[in-house]
Structure 1
Amino acid sequence: MSAAPLVGYSSSGSEDEAETEACARPGVGGRHRGQSPLPSQRLPVPDSVLHMFPGTEEGPEDDSAKHGGRVRTFPHERGNWATHVYVPYEAGEDFLELLDALLPHAQTYVPRLVRMEAFHVSLSQSVVLRHHWILPFVQALKDRVASFQRCQKSPRVL
């Protein structure tokens, strides 16, 4: 059984060495079979391309006033999604009255506290998911909670 060589090596004659050196040095016999010599420097990138997507290098502006006073607990990174699991809470009149009574007192200690429009009970802390993990995460969560009975809001008797 004979095996064909994988690579065919050329002879190591002085003719081949001279040709290789000439091709490696632009400007000295650099044209080989219709090829032009390689430029010694790269061309500059136009400003229009450099500034095509302004603000993408620094990341998004982190202004808590734009999202209900919430403050980011970890820095934003492109491709990451901050995720948490929660149950929405529909606030009743009693809850809102209690909130209105407590909020001014709490603001003496933490002035930036504000009343939120919607309420929820968090079931997890914020975690980071990559985009391609979101659907498997949601499906796994649905599979886990499928066996739980749904809670119905019952009227409160005073």
Structure 2
Amino acid sequence: MSAAPLVGYSSSGSEDEAEAGARVRPGTGGCSRAQSPLPSQKLPVPDSVLDMFPGAEERLADDSAKHGGRVRTFPHERGNWATHVYVPYEAREEFLDLLDVLLPHAQTHVPRLVRTEAFHLSLSQSVVLRHHWILPFVQALKDRVASFQR
């Protein structure tokens, strides 16, 4: 085992302090010009990181048959969530009877119209939310409507 010290301390003379002060740049935390705290070269980005997000050519094909005939108003993008605010509506017998009368007439103009099982009143148009915005959006909405009666 070597008897050399792990750390070499300079003497306490004022001459040594002046020399040390001349070698150290302000704001470097005591690193001299010969020592660089960070390497000047950037590390290469791994392929696994580069392949995390597919390009525009790899987008999913939109098939309205998979969504009950609904058509998107904007293209799907990974990480985006189509969101809207609505109030559920319980259809009574009178409403369903009216729907049975009106639907065939409406289908003469828009043949793809179909009867749905669940009804609602939309309070907003569809908007796009990033995944990390969903919980803050829901909480803000709950805070806003908390004072209203059901």
Coarse TM-score class (shorter-chain normalised): 0.5 to 0.7
Question: SS of 1:120's equivalent?
Answer: strand
**1-side partners of 2:111 and 2:96: how far apart?**
19
Q: Partner amino acid for 2:68?
A: G
Counting only pairs closer than 5 Å after superposition, residues 91-130 of structure 1 correspond to structure 2 as 91-130=91-130
Corresponding residue to 1:4 among 8, 16, 23: 23
Instruction: Quote the sequence identity (%).
Output: 80
Give me the whole-angstrom Cα distance separating, in 1, the residues matched to 2:68 and 2:90.
18
> Post-superposition shift, 1:67?
1.1
Task: List runs of 5+ in structure 1 lacking aligned partners.
Answer: 10-44, 51-55, 151-158
Aligned residue pairs: how many?
106
The aligned counterpart of 1:62 is 62
The separation in 1 between residues aligned to 2:144 and 2:22, in whole angstroms, is 58
Give the AA of the match of 2:118: A
Superposition TM-score, scaled by structure 2 size: 0.65
What is the alpha-carbon distance in structure 2 between the residues aligned to residue 124 and residue 132 of structure 1?
Answer: 20
Point out the more displaced range, 71-80 or 56-65.
56-65
Q: Displacement of 1:3 after TM fit? A: 4.3
Give structure 2 stretches of 5+ with no counterpart: 1-17, 25-31, 36-46
2:135 is aligned to 135
Taking the aligned partners of 2:99 and 2:114, their CA distance within structure 1 comes to 10
SS at match of 1:140: helix
1:81 aligns to what SS in structure 2?
A: strand
Kindly report structure 1 stretches of 4+ aligned residues shifted beyond 4 Å.
none
Could you tell me which residue of structure 1 aligns to residue 75 of structure 2? 75
TM-score, normalised to structure 1, is 0.62
Q: Does residue 88 in structure 1 map to residue 78 in structure 2?
A: no
Change (3 A) 1:3 1:136: farther
CA gap 1:57/1:3 in 2 versus in 1, 3 angstroms: farther
Secondary structure of 2:87's partner? strand
In the TM superposition, residue 113 of structure 1 has moved relative to its aligned partner by 0.4
Q: How does 1:143-158 map onto structure 2 within 5 Å? A: 143-150=143-150
Cα RMSD for the two superposed structures: 2.2
Q: Deviations over 1:78-107 (max 9, x none)?
A: 110000000001111111111011101000
Q: Secondary structure at the match of 2:23?
A: coil
Q: Which amino acid aligns with 2:130?
A: R
